[in-house]
Amino acid sequence: MEQLKTLGRELAMGSQGGFGQSKEFLDLVKSIGEARSKAEEDRIVLHEIETLKRRIIEPDIPKRKMKEYIIRLVYVEMLGHDASFGYIHAVKMTHDDSILLKRTGYLAVTLFLNEDHDLIILIVNTIQKDLKSDNYLVVCAALNAVCRLINEETIPAVLPQVVELLGHQKEAVRKKAIMALHRFYQRSSSSVSHLLSNFRERLCDNDPGVMGAALCPLYDLIVIDPNSYKDLVVSLVSILKQVAERRLPKSCDYHQMPAPFIQIKLLKILALLGSGDKQASEQMYMVVSDVIRKCDGSSNIGNAVLYECVCCVSAIYPNNKLLEAAAHAISNFLKSDSHNLKYMGIDALGRLIKISPEVAEQHQLAVIDCLEDRDDTLKRKTFELLYKMTKSSNVEVIVAHMIDYMISINDNHYKTEIASRCVELAEQFAPSNQWFIQTMNKVFQHAGDLVNIKVAHNLMRLIAEGFGDDDDGADSLLRLSAVESYLSIIGEPKLPSAFLQVICWVLGEYGTADGKYSASSIAGKICDVAEAHSNDNTVKAYAVTALLKIFAFEKARGRKVDMIPECQSLIEDLSASHSTDLQQRAYELQMVIDLDAQTIENIMPIDASCEDIEVDKGLSFLNGYVQQSIENGAQPYVPEHERSGLPNVSSFRSQEHHVASTHALRFEAYELPKTPVPKAPPVSQLSSSELVPVSEPSYNRDVFMMPSVQSTSDGRSDEIKLRLDGVKKKWGRPSYSSTTPSSSSSSLQKTINGVSSIDGMGGSSSKARDAYDSRNAPVEIPPEKQRLAASLFGGISKVEKRPSSIHKPTKASVYAAEKLNLETLAAGNDTSAEKSRSPPPDLLDLGEPDNDVIASLDDPFKQLEGLLEPGTSNLNATPENDIRSLYTGSTITAQSGVINTHQSNNDRLLSLNKGPNAKDSVQRDALVRQMGVNPSSSNPNLFKDLLG
Amino acid sequence: MIRAVMVMNTQGKPRLSKFYDFQPPQKQQELIRTVYSVLCSRPENVSNFVNASSIFGPDCQLVYKHYATLYFVFVYDSAENELAMLDLIQVFVETLDKCFKNVCELDVVFNYCKINTILDEIIFGGQVVETNSAEILRAVEDISKLESTASSTISLVRKPVSSWQTWQSR
């Protein structure tokens, strides 16, 4: 900086217009460079903007001067200030005949404007003209602008010219035309879909640069649909061969490597084409091993190509010789002193262990070194690798490391990611319930606000369901350990909201379940929580409901409930709360504890959070009451579709009545703002409707009697809206908000209101789960995680799972089916989630791995299933089997199909008598886990030293 | 695809920024600031890669290189090779150096147009089109000739960004 200051001064003093710029610009740069604060800088820049605003509109500015103004504008905008006043001048500059100004203009507009800017329309014409220019440099400048400024709508305007340029004599133009077409494809694939063959054609271009450029769009196309480009394998392989054998002109060499960027692109494409395709892969083996052999491991770019080879080898159908070469390359990377190479090595290792897990063994020390490195990037990459290597034998070590690291960092984005990974691994591989609860506690304590709320709900559900067994000691032990750990943790300050919700819910549900803790002690703790988090309404709501449950359970057990004073005051506070929800809950609590034990037991059954609540949507239990009301002269209910067909004018009429009666003088002008009307006069509406008997003919007449058509329709549409509102509240979920009783069915409405409130109280025990349901449906899994999940489950566990289902079909499938059963049990509770889930037999997808990866990318629920998938069953399989069986093709698919049906049968069988079988599954699960940790399994030694 | 190219000095002042997906100016500033703060927190002699998914969205990586008073930063996604991107910075700086004979921060500031031209020859629409610095220079010179701009003849005592040469031998 000092350097710049002195230089700036020297420049300012010594030269006028050095670097082809004026003194003014130098001064500007210098003064900005010397600015001591952001405020000072802003002041200087704002002053500059004022100057430019004045200057730029002066008439007859010399071209050179104008160019400088535009550059100064760009500079100003780069510093973060608005230069939009000058955009139009930049646009004007593109029209200039002088190439100097034209290029500057293009540069400025590509930096200023986006493709949807209004000014673009003024440039399209110029671009069209320039694309036809004789001067190839002008064409290049125009293509550059095309790349940046043409949007979907304007593509057709320039498309013919760009296509024509693909055959231009200058290779630079051809290259850029391909890129422009590629850009069009990215913008809107449909508009250039008929031109995609051009990319293939350009692959045969005489100029290697143009061929290399054509690889970019081809890569994108092949990512989407590899199958229609399989025919390219032969030509791509031969191109790569030619490149590797240095048959390209010398000018393509870079640091003694022949066209490394082209090699890299080719290897990337080959990896895509050869993935899961034995035939295509076999064509590549030769050339890839050639490339690996010729790679110079001492230069950076040589290593780049080598790394790409490893990626390719681990993506295509495996070949032992190549795998060896790749493993060798990886060990060189990891042994290197360069952090960059170590990073690449860890990344490459993560790819290769999917195919040959034993590779990791040789590098365990290097991996642990990387884990302890001070380089964050490397550390994170290593965690990624560990995440991929996790199994039940090493989960404790890995998750412990992850949590330690999670606590140590401040980067919320990564914290979230690593927390969710911890949760995922814990859910998947937990060796014991105790450990699981402890781990979840730690994650929640340190990153509770960052993890998806869904995780909290999952935890509650797991504690509630145990392993699907109601009267087993293990479940109550799990709950007891949860309650104990929460009671010890609850006093700590700054617990995240989501964690407190879990704590409150669990304490409410199970705090008093085994009689170890008294109701009042737990109630006291919960009150403390509610008080300490007085501005978190969700936590308070959970707390009140927990209190309600505790007292209700106490009473149902026949004990006397004496509310401790702090609890009393909390409830009183909350019944005057601004939040209607809290008020509601507080009143509910007060109501419920005054009821007799029998009633309480009915509305608040103990440990029934997993029971299904049957909703009688037709409200048939009210039939008698309705009948009676009708006999007493009430209006029968008119179903919605009848009302929407014939807009109900009864209440409209009554409203007219009401309005007419209150205001003697009325002017049309007051008609318009109608919106608040429906809610405002409910009471009088009610009464007037009783005064005016409604019958079909009368309301027809009414419509015709309306003073102005405009107001009729206004009023009518309002009325329709009102009716729908009413209907929703009546026939939708029971709601507590006082619905505006509407005229025609007021008696019915009242009944339902009465019932719904009771119903609501009963339902409040399931409130947490209700909330869970509604939030569960739109599960948001960040794309980053999706990618990882896809790569993990489409890769490592999938690879290992399949052989296990083939070689040990009985065990694996029974296990899987049981796990499935657990899942369906879980899913059975939340109807909304179940609906959107795929049918159970598909949960454990044993189909083609590729499809699975794609499907899991598309479907968030697939991801969920992936999270819940066991993945431990793989431990019995030996790696050789993995590889052999993975690619034996159609026979496997057939077999797995059989297994699928077998599973679904099993599943059905199991679901008939859930309890004992699920219990078995837990035991067997434990057994499998114990047995899984045997030395013959894939990677036993890696953490031996850590595990001791 | 390459998402963005940024050059900023060690004080965090942007010297060149080019986003291949449009970002509004305010957002650009924010991104540059975030990137700068990340780069500042990196110790010496660690890898040149940073996972940028929290800054630029999923799948994004950035690679940076520190030359004299400047940081060169390339942001790219998984369709690019990390080490190759590192070399692309090398290509860029090498070309600048050839073009300006011992390039320094001031050259970057005062030759905004030319540096953009060079960059456009290397990266086009987010894809690498040329990596041979001689070829790039030839193209840039063609353009300069056409524009008949007299390039700067002033030579001052400047701190050269020559670490690329030493870096290469590392």
- Identify the pLDDT of residue A491: 80
CB contact under 8 A, A375 and B28: no
- Identify the pLDDT of residue A723: 43
- Identify the pLDDT of residue A674: 52
Nearest-Cα distance to chain B for A170, in Å, is: 12
Nearest-Cα distance to chain B for A64, in Å, is: 10
Dihedral sign (CA A883, A887, A888, A890)? positive
Q: How far, in Å, CA of A485 to CA of A438, rounded?
A: 8
Q: What's the rounded mean pLDDT across residues A335-346?
A: 92
Closest-approach residue (CA) in chain A for B10: A1
Cα B39–chain centre separation = 15
Q: What is the ipTM of this complex?
A: 0.86
Closest-approach residue (CA) in chain A for B43: A375
Closest-approach residue (CA) in chain B for A375: B46
Which residues of chain B does A172 touch, with a Cβ-Cβ cutoff of 8 Å? 139
**Tens digit of pLDDT for each residue in A189-200?**
888 888 888 899
pLDDT at B146 over 50: yes
Chain A window 496-515: which residues touch B at a Cβ cutoff of 8 Å?
none
User: A217, A178 in Cβ contact below 8 A?
Assistant: yes
- Identify the pLDDT of residue A97: 84
**What would the two tokens of residue A457 be?**
């709900």
- Identify the pLDDT of residue A711: 40
- Identify the pLDDT of residue A923: 57
Q: Is A254 on the interface with B (CB under 8 A)?
A: yes
Q: How far, in Å, CA of A102 to CA of A541, rounded?
A: 65
Chain A window 296-335: which residues touch B at a Cβ cutoff of 8 Å?
300-301, 303-304, 307-308
* Those residues with Cβ within 8 angstroms of residue B45's Cβ, 6 or more apart along the chain or in another chain: A339
Which residues of chain B does A100 touch, with a Cβ-Cβ cutoff of 8 Å? 147-149
Q: Tell me which of A124 and A738 has the higher pLDDT.
A: A124
> Given pLDDT bands bounded at 50, 70 and 90, which one contains residue A942?
very low
Pairing of strands A257-258, B2-9: unpaired
- Identify the pLDDT of residue A640: 76
Q: What's the rounded mean pLDDT across residues A737-755?
A: 42
pTM for this model (two decimals)? 0.64
Closest-approach residue (CA) in chain B for A101: B147
User: A888, A799 in Cβ contact below 8 A?
Assistant: no
A and B: number of Cβ contacts within 8 A? 195
Q: What's the rounded mean pLDDT across residues A702-718?
A: 42
Which residues of chain A does B70 touch, with a Cβ-Cβ cutoff of 8 Å? none
- Identify the pLDDT of residue A236: 94
Most confident of A332-341, A448-457, A834-843, A926-935: A332-341
**Tens digit of pLDDT for each residue in A257-302?**
899 999 999 999 999 999 989 999 999 999 999 999 988 888 899 9
pLDDT at A448 over 70: yes
Which residues of chain A does B84 touch, with a Cβ-Cβ cutoff of 8 Å? 260-261, 264, 301, 304
> Given pLDDT bands bounded at 50, 70 and 90, which one contains residue B84?
very high
Nearest-Cα distance to chain B for A415, in Å, is: 11
CB contact under 8 A, B58 and A782: yes
CB contact under 8 A, B150 and A99: no
CB contact under 8 A, A254 and B134: no
- Identify the pLDDT of residue A827: 44
- Interface probe, candidates B37, B74, B120, B161, chain A, greatest A C-beta count within 10 A: B120
- Identify the pLDDT of residue A784: 46
Mean pLDDT over all residues of chain A? 72
Helix (H, G, I), strand (E, B) or coil at A244: helix
Q: Is A260 on the interface with B (CB under 8 A)?
A: yes
Q: What's the rounded mean pLDDT across residues B27-39?
A: 92
**Tens digit of pLDDT for each residue in A523-544?**
888 888 888 888 888 888 898 8
CB contact under 8 A, A343 and B51: no
Q: Tell me which of A622 and A835 has the higher pLDDT.
A: A622
Q: In percent, how much of chain A has pLDDT > 70?
A: 64
Helix (H, G, I), strand (E, B) or coil at A864: helix
**Tens digit of pLDDT for each residue in A349-370?**
999 988 888 888 888 888 888 8
- Identify the pLDDT of residue A158: 92
Pairing of strands B123-124, B2-9: unpaired
Lowest mean pLDDT among A504-513, A602-611, A842-851: A842-851
Alpha-carbon distance values, A898 to A32, A871, A902, A921 (Å): 73, 20, 6, 22
Angular region, A420: left φ>0, alpha ψ -120 to 50, beta rest: alpha
CB contact under 8 A, A8 and B9: no
CB contact under 8 A, A144 and B159: no
Q: Is A339 on the interface with B (CB under 8 A)?
A: yes
Which residues of chain B does A374 touch, with a Cβ-Cβ cutoff of 8 Å? 43, 46
- Identify the pLDDT of residue A818: 46
CB contact under 8 A, B87 and A260: yes
> Given pLDDT bands bounded at 50, 70 and 90, which one contains residue A659?
very low
Q: How far, in Å, CA of A170 to CA of A162, rounded?
A: 14
- Identify the pLDDT of residue A332: 92
Most confident of A93-107, B75-89, B130-144: B75-89
- Identify the pLDDT of residue A220: 92
CB contact under 8 A, A7 and B158: yes
Helix (H, G, I), strand (E, B) or coil at A561: coil
> Given pLDDT bands bounded at 50, 70 and 90, which one contains residue A67?
confident
